[in-house]
Amino acid sequence: MSTVIVDLAEVAARLSARSGTRAEANVQSDLRMLLLSAGLNLREGDLEDVVLEAPVGKRRRIDVEVGATVFEVKKDLRTGNVRDDAVEQLAGYVRDRVAQTGARYVGVLTDGVEWHLYHLDGTALRLVSSYQLDGPADLDGLLLWLDGVLATADHVIPTPAEVTRRLGAKSPAFALDIADLAALYERNADHPGVVMKRSLWAKLLTTALGTAFVDEDRLFIEHTLLVVTAEVIGHAVVGFDVADASIGATTLVRGQLFSSAQIRGVVEEDFFDWVVEVDDGAAFVNTLARRLARFAWGEVEHDVMKVLYESIIAASTRKSLGEYYTPDWLAEAIVDDAVTDPLTQRVLDPSCGSGTFVFHAVRRYLTAADTAGLDLATALRGVTAHVYGVDVHPVAVTLARVTYLLAIGRDRLISDDRPAITIPVYLGDTVQWGQNPTLLDSDALVVPTTSGATLFSDELRFPDRVVEDAALFDGLVSELADAAARPGRPDAKHVLATAFRRYPVRPEDQAMVAETYTVLCRLHDDQQNHIWSYYLRNLARPLWLARPANHVDVLVGNPPWLSYRYMPAAMKTDFRDMSTARGFWAGAAVATNQDLSALFVARAVELYLKRGGTFAFVMPLAVLSRNQYAGFRTGNWTGYRATATSGGHGADTHAAFTTPWDVHAVKPSFFPVPAAVLRGTRADTPTALPGAAEHWTGRVKGRNPSLEAVADSLTRRELEPRETGGTVSPYAPRFAQGATLVPRYMVLLEDAAAGPLGAGANRRSVRSRRSNNEKPPWKTQTDLSGNIERQFIHPVYVGDSVLPFRTRPAIPGLIPWDGTTLSATVSSALDQYPGLAAWWREAEARWNADRTSSLSLLDRLDYQGGLRKQLPGLEHRVVYGASGMYIAAAYVQDPQAVIEHQLYWAAVSGPDEAHYLLAVLNSDALLQLVQPLQARGEHNPRHFDKYVWRMPIPLFDPSEDLHRELAALAVRAASVAADVELTAQTFQVLRRNIRRALVDDGVAADLDKAVTDLLT
C-alpha cells in the first residue's frame, strides 16, 4: 500500500489564494487534507476522524466535522451576505449537535484565508477567536490555532512556552473557555451560592491587594478558570485520567478523589466551585478536562502554574494589582543559597504566590533525601513537614498547592509506597492585621474574628494537640463542617462521638471541640454554605506556625509590594501604627512612596522565624538606599514585644543583614520596578544592611528558564559600595519639592479665542492645557474655559521646563493667590473675582464628583504647603529636575513663577550663588556620585530627589576662589546653552543637544574638574 505524500505548502497556497476559479468543494477538500496530514493527531477511522458532508438531519449536511468541531466552508467570505448567512447556517448545525449529544460543540467558519471560531451562547453563536492565513509561510501559525480549537495533540510536554501557546490568553482554547465560562456566570450571577462566593473572594482580595483591586466580573471569571484548571491539573499529576467523564466534574473541583487517595490539602470546596453548582457547569468542566488531559503533567521542571497565571491575567491587570512572580532561576538561586541543610531546616514562604519558591524548596529537599537514601514514605512525610507556603490570595493558594504536587512528581505520588500526606500550603493572613498576640494562649489556638481577611462572627478554638497534627486537624474539621452542612443535620452528640473516635481527641479537649462545632453550625445556618471548612483549615495554620515552638529555620519569598496609597483605610492605619512602632514610618512626605514589603518582611521574621534563622526576600531595589526604608535597614525592629501570655512570642526582633544582591541589571527586566535580594538572619543584636551589594548582570534567554540554563549568562561582580547615610550638604534643608498641581488640566492653561466682545478688562481668555499623560477620570473630561483675571495667571515651571543652565518658556497656570492669601479658601474673597470664581467652582465640582482623596481641590494643589511656601514669590531661585537620566538645573528670576512638584527649588542670595549651584548640579562629576543612590527604572537610573545633597556640597562662599570659578564657569555654560535653538523637539532631545554643545565648547570638562576638586 503506497503512502500519499501531501505537500502542505501547496495546500496552504491553494487555501490562501481565493482564486476566482476555485470551487467551494475545492476549499472543503483542501481543508480535509490539511487536517489529516498536518500532524494534528487526526486519523481516518478514529473517534475524532475528519468527516465530509456529515448528515445533521432535515437533509442538511455539515461541510467538515472533526470531533466536537463543526466547519462551515465558503468560497469567499468577502462576497455579499455570505458571512451572515454562513454564521446562521453554522449556528443551526452547532445547536443540533449540542441537542443530539449533550456535549459542547464549537463552530469554525472559513474560506481558507479567514478562520473564525464561534461558541454557542444560548441559541446564538458568538465569535471568540479569528486567524488570517497570509500564505504558506504562515502555515505553522494556523496549525497552532487549529490545535487550540481541536485539542487533539497528545502528550504535550508542559514547558512554559507550550503552556502559553496552548492555554494562554492568546490561544483559541482560552478564548473558547473564557467565553463559555462568562456566559455560564452571566446566567447564574444571581444564584445565592455564586453571590456568596463572589463576595468572599472580593473581601479576601481587598485584603491582599488593597484599593487597587476592583471587583469586576471579568477578573472573577478569569480566577475561576485558573483555579478549575489548576484543580484538574492536580488530578492529572497524581495519575487520574481527567478525560474520563465518569470521574465527574464535581469530583474534579471538590477533591473527593484526593481524600480517598489520602492526599489532603490540594483540591477543596472553595470560592470557585460555584461552577458545578449551576446548570451546564459540569459540561464546561468536563470539556476543559479533556483539553488539559493532552499534557504530560508528570514531566514538569518549572513552576508552570505561574506561567499559566501570567499568560491568562492581562499584564495591565497584574501591574495594577502589583502581581509579579519571581522567575524560576532567581527563586532557585535564593533557595540554594538560603537552604543549606534541606533535610533538617524547615522552610516557609509567607507570600508564596503560585509556589515558585515552594517548588524549588521541595525539589531541594527531595534531592537531598534521595542522596541520603531515605525511603519514599520517610521522604514525603519529611518534605511536607519541612516546606510550607502561605498566601492571602485564594487563587495563588490553589496554584501553589498544585505546584507542590508537581514538585513532588507523579512517580512518587502514584507509588504504592506513598504514605498519607497533607500539602502544607495555606490560605492565610501572614501579617495578621489587627490581631492580638494574646489570642495565642497556653492551651489552644484561636482563629481570630476581627482580621480584614476573616469573615467569621464567632470565636473558633482548637486544642493544641489537635492542631499540632495537620492531617488530624484537617480531617476533624472536614468531618465537623460536613456534618454542620448536612441536610437534616444529625444529632450533635452522635456527630461528636463519631469524630472523637475517628480522630482521637482527648477527653480534656472535647468540650472545646464541641463548642467549636456549635459555632460551625451557627455559621452554616447564617450563610447556608459549606465553605467554612475551607476557612478553618487554612486560617488556623499561619497562627499555628506563629507559635515559638513551630518557628521555621528559613524564610524565603517575594513579599507583596503593595503601595501605601492603595491600601484600604483600615490597613493604612494598621500599617502606619506598626511601621511607627518599628521605626519604619518615614513620615507623610514620603508616605505615597512607602510599600508593604519592608513591614511584611519584618513581621514575617518576628512571627515565624527562629532566632538564628535565615531569611532571603526579593525586594524593591530602593530598599538599598531610599529614605523610606532607612528604619528597616538598621535591622533594629523592636516594635513587637513579648506578652505574659505569649510565652516570649514576639520579643524584640533584630535582623543581622548580610550582603544583598543587586539584580536590576539582569535583562530583560522581570519586574516593572528594579529588584534586589535582601539576605540576613534573626539575631539578638541588629546588624545594619551593608553599604555594598553583590551586583548581578547578564541577559536571560527563554521563557522562565532554570538556574542551570542561565548560569553561564550571569555575572556576579565584586561588591559595589552603596551610600545609605543621611544628608551631608547644608543645602539639603533649603531645597523643597514644588507644588502638586494636579489634576493639571484644571490649573495649566493655554490661550483661547476671546470671542467678539473680548475677554474684558484685565482678563485673559484661556482654556485647559491638555496632555496625553492624563489619567482617568480626568483624561475623558472636557476642557475648562473662561476669562480669568490676569493677576491669577502665573508662569508655572514643570519638569520638562528645565534644561541645563536655562529654561523653556513657562506655562501659564491658574493660581488663586490674591497677594496675601489663597482666595479660594474664602467664598467672599472668591466672589470679588467673577472670572476666577466661575472657573474655580466648576473645577471644584468636578474634583468633588470624581476624587479618590479626602482632600479638597485647594488642599490637593497645596499638598503639604507646596504652594503657600512659594507665595509671595522670590526673585532668585535655583530649580532642578526630580528625576531623569541626567540632572538638569536652571536659574529662575521671576518672583511670580510657581514651581511644580516635578522640580525641587530653593531661594538663593543672588546670581553668584545661583550660578555656583548650577555649575555643581549640572556636572557629570556630581551625577556619577549620585547614581548609586538612585532608584532605577527598567533601563536607567531615575529619581534624584534630595539624594544630590548627600554629597558634601558646601554653602557658597564668595571669598573662596574655587566657588567664584564655578560661578564663572556656569555663566559661560549658560551662554553656550542660550545659543542652542529651542525647536518643537522633546525636552530630552533639547537637554541632549545642550549637553553636547557644552562638551564641544570644552566648558563641560572644565566644570567636571572644578566640581571634582570641590567635592574631594
Average pLDDT over residues 544-558: 91
Give me the pLDDT at residue 552, please.
96
pLDDT grade, residue 781 (50/70/90)?
Answer: very high
Strand-pair partners of 676? 619, 662
| Residue 387, phi then psi, degrees to nearest 5 | -130, 120
* Candidate from 46-55, 286-295, 391-400, 542-551 with smallest mean pLDDT: 46-55
Q: Which residues contact 832 (CB under 8 A, 6 or more apart)?
A: 823
Residue type at 491 in one-letter notation: D
Does pLDDT of 569 surpass 50? yes
Sign, Cα dihedral of 856, 860, 864, 866: negative
Give me the pLDDT at residue 496, please.
92
Instruction: Please write the tens of the pLDDT for every residue from 98-136.
Output: 888 777 889 999 999 999 999 988 888 999 999 999 988
Give me the pLDDT at residue 169, please.
84
Give 36: exposed, middle or buried? Use CB within 10 Å, 0-12, 13-18, 19+.
middle
The ranges assigned to domains in the chain are: 8-153, 441-545, 552-721, 732-1015
Nearest-angstrom CA–CA distance, 217 and 253: 20
Nearest-angstrom CA–CA distance, 406 and 413: 10
Average pLDDT over residues 316-327: 70
Does pLDDT of 251 surpass 60? yes
Give me the pLDDT at residue 434, please.
54
- Return the residue matching grid coordinates 522562565: 704
533 or 554, higher pLDDT: 554
Does pLDDT of 645 surpass 50? no
Average pLDDT over residues 230-236: 88
Give me the pLDDT at residue 795, please.
96
Q: Reduced to 3 states, what is the DSSP secondary structure of residue 513?
A: helix
- Report the side by side order of strands in the sheet with 114-121: 50-57, 60-66, 69-73, 106-110, 114-121, 124-132
How big is the chain by its Cα radius of gyration, in Å?
A: 33
Give me the pLDDT at residue 935, please.
58
* Candidate from 362-376, 445-459, 539-553 with smallest mean pLDDT: 445-459
Q: What's the length of the chain?
A: 1016
Does pLDDT of 91 surpass 50? yes
Average pLDDT over residues 170-189: 91
pLDDT grade, residue 207 (50/70/90)?
Answer: low
855 or 802, higher pLDDT: 802
Does pLDDT of 759 surpass 80? no
Strand-pair partners of 347? 387, 554
Does pLDDT of 824 surpass 80? no
pLDDT grade, residue 566 (50/70/90)?
Answer: confident
Average pLDDT over residues 548-561: 93
Instruction: Please write the tens of the pLDDT for every residue from 31-41.
Output: 888 888 877 77
Nearest-angstrom CA–CA distance, 835 and 750: 15
State what percent of residues in the chain have pLDDT above 70: 88
Give me the pLDDT at residue 393, please.
83
Q: Does domain 8-153 have CATH number 3.40.630.30?
A: no
Does pLDDT of 942 surpass 70? no
Mean pLDDT, all residues of the chain = 85
Give me the pLDDT at residue 642, please.
40
| 835 contacts 760 by C-beta, under 8 angstroms | yes
Q: Report residue 124 as a C-alpha cell.
A: 446564538
58 or 874, higher pLDDT: 874
- Return the residue matching grid coordinates 450533635: 492
pLDDT grade, residue 452 (50/70/90)?
Answer: very low
Average pLDDT over residues 171-196: 90
* Candidate from 87-96, 465-474, 801-810, 1001-1010 with smallest mean pLDDT: 465-474
Give me the pLDDT at residue 449, please.
37
Instruction: Please write the tens of the pLDDT for every residue from 840-880.
Output: 999 999 999 887 777 889 988 988 889 989 988 889 999 99
State what percent of residues in the chain have pLDDT above 90: 38
Nearest 5 degrees, angle CA 420-CA 423-CA 428?
Answer: 145
913 or 651, higher pLDDT: 913
Residue 521 CB neighbour total at 10 angstroms: 19
| 306 contacts 558 by C-beta, under 8 angstroms | no
Of 15-24, 162-171, 883-892, which has the strongest mean pLDDT? 883-892
Give me the pLDDT at residue 105, please.
87
Give 381: exposed, middle or buried? Use CB within 10 Å, 0-12, 13-18, 19+.
middle
Instruction: Please write the tens of the pLDDT for every residue from 714-757.
Output: 998 866 555 544 568 999 989 999 999 999 999 999 999 887 77
What does DSSP say about strands 898-899 and 793-797: parallel, antiparallel, or unpaired? parallel
464 or 188, higher pLDDT: 188
Does pLDDT of 648 surpass 80? no
SS3 for 305-347, per residue?
Answer: HHHHHHHHCCHHHHHHHCCCCCCHHHHHHHHHHHCCCCCCCCE
Give me the pLDDT at residue 45, please.
41
Smallest Cα–Cα separation from 914: which of 866, 950, 874, 873?
A: 874
- Return the residue matching grid coordinates 501557546: 165
Does pLDDT of 455 surpass 70? no
Q: Report residue 547 as a C-alpha cell.
A: 507559635
Instruction: Please write the tens of the pLDDT for every residue from 477-512.
Output: 878 888 887 878 888 999 999 998 888 888 988 998
Q: Report residue 748 as a C-alpha cell.
A: 495649566
